């Protein structure tokens, strides 16, 4: 079973990488980009075949390692 985890900085947390991308896009002539938030996508191949158990396991992974839950939020997609 595959799982995808999207991790993003929470609203209100400064995103220096996103700001650098926004600035670079402006320098390349892409005007009108008012904000960029940069995150990460993590794809996992799991041996688990039960979707609910897989979601529970991936949630634990996020809470312990994959996301810094103080400043980041995450979304899990099981499929």
Place of tokens 């039960």: 50
CA nearest to 35, candidates 47, 43, 25: 25
**CATH code (residue 61):** 3.30.1280.10
Q: What is the pLDDT of residue 34?
A: 96
Give the number of domains in the chain: 1
Domain carrying residue 23: 2-78
Which residue spans within the chain are E strands per DSSP? 2-9, 40-45, 72-78
Q: Taking residues 23-41, what's their average pLDDT? A: 97
Q: What is the pLDDT of residue 53?
A: 98
Residue 31, strand partner residues: none
pLDDT level of residue 23 (50, 70, 90 thresholds): very high
pTM above 0.85, yes or no: yes
Q: What is the pLDDT of residue 61?
A: 98
Residue 8, strand partner residues: 73
């Amino acid at each position: 079973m595959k799982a995808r985890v999207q991790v993003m900085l929470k609203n209100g947390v400064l995103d220096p990488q996103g700001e650098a991308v926004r600035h670079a896009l402006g320098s390349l002539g892409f005007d009108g980009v008012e904000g960029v938030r940069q995150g990460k996508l993590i794809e996992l191949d799991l041996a688990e075949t039960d979707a609910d158990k897989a979601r529970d396991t991936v949630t634990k992974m996020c809470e312990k390692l994959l996301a810094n839950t103080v400043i980041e939020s995450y979304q899990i997609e099981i499929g």
